[in-house]
Structure 1
Amino acid sequence: MKISRTHKPEDLSLEEWQRILRKQYGEQQKYKLDNTGNHPLFSEFKLTNSESGKVYKIAIRGDAPGDNYCSCPDYSINNLGTCKHIEFTLSRLMEKKGAKKALREGYTPPYSEVYLRYGLKRDVRFKAGKDASPEVLSLVNKYFDPNGMLKEDYILHFHQFLNNISQKNGHEIRCYDDVMAHIAEYQDAEHRRNIIKSQLKGGINSPIVKNILKTKLYPYQREGALFAVNAG
């Protein structure tokens, strides 16, 4: 049954509705899909929209929201863990014999991956490859929890992890661009918070807040200004 694009069904959450809409739309498209990896399903793909000429990178790891990756703007901001390009790709892959079962069960490639899992909350994940050595996994366990999520205490030290892991020769580890962008954004925000904490120890009563404008600000206005600075 086709879902309305303008009226959300009562039995669906907003996120479920939006995912279904992208699935419906994506399955109807006629994009060009090229497998640029080494596996028929769990691979990297180049998707081309012949009408707009735009090209996107797709990475397929499974069939659940957040498993996969697309370089399109919608995927990076919709917090749904999918987009029309991923849904198009999955629909084409599902046509292959045994693909549905394989995608549901997932796949462990020989290489390891560090990727950004998308959803209402984004987090950096590590997925160990089947060829990962005990030495590599020992280092990973220091930075990532048992579910493969980067520990919050180590987000600011992520580059140290990359430097150390690169010294473990003989095992390929792929780290995607959106991971680095996410880490950089977090580090910038933390740096900003530290500056604010050191310069505005008195909060809204700090001299710099009171004197930033010639016009006198009411307390609620100072609170709003401080909130905006903290938020970046």
Structure 2
Amino acid sequence: MKEQINKLIWPEVCPICQKVSKTGVCTPCAKKLNRYEVQEPSCLKCGKPIENECESMCHDCERRERSFERGRGIFLHSGVIQKAIYRFKYHNQRYIGRFFANEMAVRGKGFLRNFSPEILVPVPIDPWRKKERGYNQTLILAQELEIISRIPTFDCVKRVRRTMPQKGLSKEERKGNLKDAFQMKGALKNVKKALIVDDIFTTGSTIEELADLLRKVGVQEVGFLTISIGQGK
């Protein structure tokens, strides 16, 4: 009875358009999502879409060594995807995490199977932002992905230094902004493959800093999976 009353007061809505939908994502939005899914050709290293079919890696991955083995973003970071992530991240709409985790599991099934991670590692947010926001969206994302994939989540990293928001910073500033920002808060024993879970991949500075730390504690291969990815060169 209580659940029925709650549904009357707070009916289920589509995570994309926010209209009432008993089936979660509504049919028009479900069709629209396919237009945002990252298509080939894409970078063999970070999964970012590339224009030239003759190239195997994007400009960033081609000119510098990456700390991670490979990764993938499921959607392009634009339009309705960008708006939904913003609501999930800043407006306490945590149910959107369940939706995106399912999309990551389904659309990223081949990537997950090929990389075969032993654990999921959510990107931590600093305590000040967590206190202000009330939650870490990437931890929610990883835990929802764990339910579907049965890959265990290890919330084993913490931020120990307050950083500026990465948005708006140059590539060099992003890297310096995150230097020594992470520390392990739990031991990882005999983990060979770890998958970092985050909401957005842009330049990769956050993923790289975290991958460096995981490698230092003995992880042999680090990958990443994100909801969305930028469309740079």
Shared topology, TM-score over 0.5?
no
TM-score normalised per structure 2:
0.30
TM-score normalised per structure 1:
0.30
Q: Which of the two has higher C-alpha Rg?
A: 1
Relative contact order: is structure 1 or structure 2 higher (C-alpha 8 Å, sep ≥ 6)? 2
